[in-house]
């Protein structure tokens, strides 16, 4: 992991994401990039008399100063040579601006706060974090505003026994080794699921062949309430992060583990949520 991009809207809810991004970068020796996306029409709605070019220049300058001050306030920036790279982007759709920048700088991970300052937008348009989870080709780590995570002792991964899960776990193990994290895999099986224990055995064998990381354990639970069982297990495991794979399609397993479950876990705001998009894993 070489490049990490953290998105902020200057809100209190984004501070935890910023600090966790800094932890990741220091531990992994990665470069930290911080982005703020603004909508110029919303920013200067009361100053329409100014020329557009002047509006744009003023907006970018104001946001650069604000973003720089935000970083200085919440990060321990003593070394000028290790300052994060800041990006100010104009885009009416925050998630699109973040994804475009992530692709341009070849980011390995995007961090974002779970809720922002724009309450109306969150309610009626869906939060930036949710939009990123749906469409980002880069893994997204959504961080609750009250998160105090500074170490990754335990990463819980909710698996549906798919080959894409193995690719996601392989990526997780690449940075888990730097933290010496335990990776705990859990599968919650409903009564309707066919031969779940046999699938787990197959999955264990496949994982052993393809993932070298050894500090991995397996947990199997049976319940018709996947969400509640996951929540309970997160507490039992003392999880620092929950990782899940966003899935598409209409098979039995995909329906059970559809990305809607990822969104529901996001709304619980128990721990930071790391989301991988199945399509991007398959293409990598």
Spans in the chain with pLDDT lower than 70 = 41-53, 77-82, 115-126, 193-194, 247-269, 282-284
| Residue-wise pLDDT tens digits, 79-136 | 555 689 999 999 989 999 999 999 999 999 999 988 644 444 443 334 788 888 888 9
Amino acid 260: pLDDT: 54
Residue 91 has a pLDDT of 92
User: What pLDDT is recorded for position 254?
Assistant: 42
Which domains are seen in the chain, by residue range? 3-143 (3.40.50.620), 154-283 (3.40.50.620)
Angle between helices 52-74 and 15-28 (to 10 degrees): 70
Gap between the Cα atoms of 123 and 221, Å rounded: 33
Amino acid 129: pLDDT: 82
């Amino acid at each position: 992991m070489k490049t990490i991009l953290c998105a902020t809207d200057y809100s209190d809810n984004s501070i935890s994401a910023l600090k966790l991004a800094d932890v990741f970068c220091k531990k992994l020796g990665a470069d930290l990039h911080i982005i703020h996306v603004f909508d110029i029409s919303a920013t200067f709605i009361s100053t329409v008399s100014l020329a557009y070019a002047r509006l744009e220049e003023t907006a970018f300058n104001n946001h650069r100063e604000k973003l720089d001050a935000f970083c200085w306030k919440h990060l321990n920036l003593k070394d000028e040579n290790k300052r994060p790279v800041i990006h100010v982007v104009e885009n009416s759709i925050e998630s699109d601006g973040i994804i475009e920048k992530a692709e341009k700088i070849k980011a390995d991970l995007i961090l974002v706060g779970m809720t922002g300052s724009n309450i109306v937008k969150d309610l009626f348009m869906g939060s930036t974090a949710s939009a990123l989870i749906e469409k980002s080709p880069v893994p997204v780590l959504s961080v609750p505003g009250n998160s105090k995570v500074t170490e990754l002792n335990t990463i819980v991964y909710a698996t549906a026994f798919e080959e894409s899960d193995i690719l996601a776990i392989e990526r997780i193990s690449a940075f888990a080794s730097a933290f010496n994290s335990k990776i705990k895999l859990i599968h919650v099986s409903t009564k309707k699921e066919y031969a779940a224990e046999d699938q787990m055995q197959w999955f264990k064998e496949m994982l052993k062949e393809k993932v070298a990381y050894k500090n991995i354990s397996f947990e199997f639970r049976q319940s018709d309430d996947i969400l509640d069982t996951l929540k309970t297990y997160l507490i039992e495991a003392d999880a620092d992060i929950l990782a899940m794979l966003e899935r598409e399609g209409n098979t039995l397993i995909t329906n059970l583990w559809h990305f809607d479950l990822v969104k529901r876990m996001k709304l619980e705001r128990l721990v930071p949520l790391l989301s991988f998009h199945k399509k991007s894993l398959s293409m990598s």
